Amino acid sequence: MSSVFYRNLNKNYPRAVRSDGMYIYDETGKSYLDMSGGAAVSCLGHQHPKVTKALCSQIQNMSFAHTAFFSNEPQEQLASLLADKFAEAGARVYFTAGGSEANETAIKMAWQYWQALGQHKKTKIISRVHSYHGNTFAALSASGNLPRRRDMGDLLIEWPRIEPCYAYRHQRADESEAAYSMRSAFALERAIQAEGADTIAAFIAEPVVGASLGVVPATSGYFAKIREICDRYDIVLIADEIMCGSGRTGTFFAHEQDDFLPDIVTMAKGIAGGYQPLAATLARTKIHKVFAASKSGFAHGHTYVGHASSCSAGLAVIRTIDEEGLLDNVRHYGKQLHEALKDAFAEHPFIGDIRGRGLFQGLEIVADRQSKKPFDDDLKITSRLHQLTMKHSLICYPGGGSARDRLGSHILLAPPYILADIHIEQLIEKLQTIFAELFDV
């Protein structure tokens, strides 16, 4: 009997004992093709020699020195690297251990920023329906994902939410993309006006929605308008790039493709590729300056802020992406993957949409393509998909709720940037088998 308090108490987990490149091996020797890097984490695949070498050397030299007492070289270098990649000079980076902490940090930063400026009523965080920003208290309060919130009853903070920019379900048949982008963005302005701008601290959104919707980029012009609205009403704009950042969509920051500059960017997962737990909250210089000038600074902190070994893994991962030109791979293989998925499944009776950017692709599953009706909840499509993908040695990321609440299913693909044609071929073959069993056709 295991003493582990598992994530899912009714599930038997195979034990992972080894991993290499695109594959993870369990104790029976079964190999799993990792086409989602777990949850968009393993961006360099498994056991990349440059990263394991850098990490081992850091651990041998100095694993940890509490950042309340010292800074450390990996933290300094990684912060510079990230700040240099950001379009505006002078950004500062606060490192934590996971995505929820990064968003918790961002939310506190937005609150305290307005406090420092004497705007004490600016406390609410507007987010979007179908969003997930983490499982800690403020991050979950800002998350719109109902299945993930429900079990918390009424303990969470209730903040306003607007509909996401989700063309597949919300763009009207007679509406242009530009008109939809504006309509969708103006939902934010309406929410701000309804609540009162003097009560809103920040708006948080993923530039490309990951697990809650199954990879949904915004339509063109949406985020530029969101930026304008945030500026007009003095709202901090937080881009949650925990899943879609670190090169996943073909540019280092996902927001680069939407032509806007957030005030705060949160990153995790791919930032250290799973080699160590690491997350980052990057703040524009105007935010940092307010804290630097305030008496109390930024009231926050965790034991593992700026952890040396974690930052050394992050540094090695980002340097490897740069040195090996892996963003070219993301763009090239992103197109190949998208085309292969379209060739194989565009006419499939139960695949309603295939979408994404770079090596971040999603397939939305529907019961009827015409009406986009989701399958009934009783059919448990998402959990059966999860079982079938594991049975057929495929790691991808099935999710639910893309239509509403529990209804709607999708598959999220976020393969490592090192993938090659053969892995796309294997994926398509496996998905064909899985869909045949799932839909019994």
Ligand X SMILES: Cc1ncc(COP(=O)(O)O)c(C=O)c1O
Q: Can you give the binding site for ligand X, defined by CB under 6 A?
A: 39, 98-100, 103, 132-134, 206, 210-211, 240, 242-243, 268
Rounded to a whole number of angstroms, the minimum distance from the CB of residue 438 to ligand X is 24
Radius of gyration of the chain (CA): 21
Rounded to a whole number of angstroms, the minimum distance from the CB of residue 97 to ligand X is 8
Choice between 211 and 317, CB closer to ligand X: 211
Distance CA 145, CA 11 (A): 23
Tokens 């997350």, residue located: 279
Rounded to a whole number of angstroms, the minimum distance from the CB of residue 408 to ligand X is 17
Distance CA 81, CA 411 (A): 32
CB 75 within 8 A of CB 66: no
Choice between 44 and 243, CB closer to ligand X: 243
Rounded to a whole number of angstroms, the minimum distance from the CB of residue 334 to ligand X is 19
Rounded to a whole number of angstroms, the minimum distance from the CB of residue 386 to ligand X is 15
Rounded to a whole number of angstroms, the minimum distance from the CB of residue 65 to ligand X is 24
Rounded to a whole number of angstroms, the minimum distance from the CB of residue 89 to ligand X is 27
Choice between 98 and 401, CB closer to ligand X: 98
The Cα-based distances of 32 to 280, 289, 338, 393 in angstroms read 30, 48, 21, 4
Distance CA 374, CA 154 (A): 28
**Burial of 381 (C-beta count, 10 Å sphere; 0-12/13-18/19+):** buried
Choice between 281 and 367, CB closer to ligand X: 281
Rounded to a whole number of angstroms, the minimum distance from the CB of residue 160 to ligand X is 19
**Burial of 390 (C-beta count, 10 Å sphere; 0-12/13-18/19+):** middle
Tokens 């969003």, residue located: 131
Choice between 146 and 179, CB closer to ligand X: 146
Rounded to a whole number of angstroms, the minimum distance from the CB of residue 154 to ligand X is 22
State both tokens at 215.
């990879």
CB 365 within 8 A of CB 381: yes
Distance CA 428, CA 410 (A): 16
Choice between 207 and 424, CB closer to ligand X: 207
Choice between 248 and 430, CB closer to ligand X: 248
Distance CA 99, CA 220 (A): 27
Choice between 189 and 240, CB closer to ligand X: 240
Choice between 103 and 219, CB closer to ligand X: 103
Residue with the shortest CB distance to ligand X: 99
Beta strand pairing call for 279-283 and 92-96? antiparallel
> 3-state DSSP call for residue 25?
strand
Choice between 136 and 426, CB closer to ligand X: 136
Distance CA 249, CA 243 (A): 10
Which has the closest alpha carbon to 19: 399, 395, 313, 321?
395
Please provide the DSSP assignment of 276-317 as one string. Answer: S--EEEEE-HHHHHHHHHSSS------TTTT-HHHHHHHHHH
Rounded to a whole number of angstroms, the minimum distance from the CB of residue 411 to ligand X is 15
